[in-house]
A and B are shown apart, each in its own frame.
Chain A
Amino acid sequence: MDCKKAENLIMKYMDGELSPEDAQLLNDHIKLCEKCREEFFVFDAMMQNAAEVSKEVIRAPEGFEKAVMSKIHTEEEKQYAYSRNDRLRMICISIILCFFAIGYFLIKNKEALIAKLYEYPAFAQYLNEVVPFSQNIQSYENSALNAVEGVFSYADRLLSVSGMFLLAFIVIGVCVYGVLRFRGNRHR
């Protein structure tokens, strides 16, 4: 048997997988080969020391569980505070988006809405007071109102173009809010 094979058998010995036949072969070889014999003794001593070390019972320090649980509580509190802030932020975003949506709806359907409101006497009276007043203002501040009207018509065009985007923002906002709320509940 050559030294390469002897080395493999030493490794098998260290793995605890050396068969009696192989043990005999290795024994015969190291009797004759000084280099392999020395190698075997170094590895064997290593094995014995490793076995000694592995027998030593290592215990986690006192209060280990408490320390872990306390860290987990701290982390959960942070997580909860974070998710609460997230929720607050999302509520604000949702409210703003809702205002945009309502504003868009009112601007888009203002003619139809005014016509509908005229059907109710109380609103008709109110509108009769407001509309002449606005017409009055218009007569005096025509140029200013034109500018305002310009802004409104621009907003109207913009909103009709980006209506779908607005709707998408609302849907995304609601989804994010839902996810954050779910996360918050899970971590509690």
Chain B
Amino acid sequence: MVKTDYDLVQGAMDGNEADFEELVKRYKNLVYSVVLRMVTDAEDANDIAQEVFIKVYRNLSKYSPEYKFSTWIIRIATNTVIDFRRKKKQEFVSIDEMETELPDSATPESTYVNTEAKSELMDAINSLPDMYKIPIVLFHLEGLSYQEISSVLGVSMSKIKNRIYRGRKLLKEAIESKKEGGSFGLQKG
């Protein structure tokens, strides 16, 4: 029988390493994806995602089964990203310096247009302050509901909704200003 997340948490707390390793296997892609979309740099994302799991290990006793494990771990991931950003000095980079990876499929032209649009969106998202960026990433890229984001961030649903609305408008402004003014400096996460 497949163990539930809570079974694995209990097992890990009793010193069963295999149970914790199973939790890491289950959630590593989710955590890495959330973190990568917030910080963009793969190396930083890897370090932060590992730190998230270490924090999870240290705080297993604080997990309550009334929340989904995914919600709890995303909360730890977002807090770790915020801490990371506080520690790290913000760097300015030009869009032209950013690298994009092209998938093998699709024609070069369509891929270029598609990748450029997506890259433009991600650049705009990364230029947002965390207050807007985190709810936008969780809602539009990770597919969390307002309710889930509210429990992840510990903020009321109405505030989350306002931040997402405001964030969308800021995104639109950033994309439009990019189109009008060409390359612009972005704050890299």
Interface residues of B in 7-30 (CB under 8 A from A): 15, 17, 20-21, 24-25, 28-29
Q: Can you list, as one digit per residue, whether each of B153-179 has a CB less than 8 Å from chain A (1) or not (0)?
A: 000000000000100100110011000
The smallest beta-carbon distance between B175 and chain A, in angstroms, is 7
Closest to A38 in B: B176
CB of B118 within 8 Å of the partner chain:
yes
CB of B32 within 8 Å of the partner chain:
yes
| CB atoms of A52 and B33 under 8 A apart | no
CB of A69 within 8 Å of the partner chain:
yes
Among candidates A47, A52, A54, A75, residue contacting B54 with C-beta atoms closer than 8 Å: A75
> Considering only CB atoms and an 8 Å cut-off, how many residues of chain A contact the other chain?
28
Interface residues of A in 36-81 (CB under 8 A from B): 39, 42-43, 45-47, 49-50, 52-54, 57-61, 64-65, 67-69, 71-72, 75
CB neighbours (8 Å) of A39 from chain B are 172
| CB atoms of B121 and A71 under 8 A apart | no
Q: At the interface with chain A, which of B68-76, B91-99, B138-146?
A: B138-146
Task: Give bound CA distance, A43 to B164, whole Å.
Answer: 13
Task: Give bound CA distance, A49 to B175, whole Å.
Answer: 12
| CB atoms of B143 and A65 under 8 A apart | no
CB of B81 within 8 Å of the partner chain:
no
Most B C-beta atoms less than 10 A away, residue of A11, A43, A52, A54: A54
Among candidates A53, A54, A59, A65, residue contacting B24 with C-beta atoms closer than 8 Å: A65
Task: Give bound CA distance, A120 to B185, whole Å.
Answer: 95
CB neighbours (8 Å) of A49 from chain B are 117-118, 120-121
Task: Give bound CA distance, A79 to B29, whole Å.
Answer: 29
Among candidates A14, A46, A68, residue contacting B53 with C-beta atoms closer than 8 Å: A68
Interface residues of A in 1-60 (CB under 8 A from B): 11, 14-15, 39, 42-43, 45-47, 49-50, 52-54, 57-60
CB of B127 within 8 Å of the partner chain:
no
Closest to A10 in B: B168
CB neighbours (8 Å) of A14 from chain B are 168
- Chain A positions within 8 Å of B, measured between CB atoms, are 11, 14-15, 39, 42-43, 45-47, 49-50, 52-54, 57-61, 64-65, 67-69, 71-72, 75, 188
- Chain B positions within 8 Å of A, measured between CB atoms, are 15, 17, 20-21, 24-25, 28-29, 31-33, 36-37, 42, 46, 49-50, 53-54, 57, 114, 117-118, 120-122, 140-143, 146, 165, 168, 171-172, 175-176
